[in-house]
Amino acid sequence: MLKRSISLYGHQTSVALEAEFWAVIDAAVDASGESFASFIRTRDDERMEGGATRNLASHLRVWCLGYVQTKL
């Protein structure tokens, strides 16, 4: 597990994910042209709009799965 820290709306938090998920996220960030912080904030906003039934790490894992599936 690799842990990265980020500030979301003024609150410091950290997210721990396996290196493989970070690789997908890093590739998506590069492709999007967004900053890492902006990209994660957008994913967190999506999570909250969906009712926040998962924590951020879980949401990012599911997001990665969907992202990779669209690339196949």
Measure the CA–CA gap between 27 and 22, rounded to whole angstroms: 8
pLDDT of res. 1 = 95
Contact yes or no for 13/5 (Cβ under 8 A): yes
Walk me through the domains of the chain, giving residue ranges and CATH numbers.
Answer: 2-71 (1.10.3990.20)
**How far does the chain reach from its first CA to its final CA, in angstroms?**
26
pLDDT tens digits, 28-62: 999 999 999 999 999 999 999 978 788 999 999 99
Is the pTM here over 0.95, yes or no?
A: no
Burial class (CB in 10 A: 0-12, 13-18, 19+), 52: exposed
One-letter amino acid for residue 34 of the chain: E
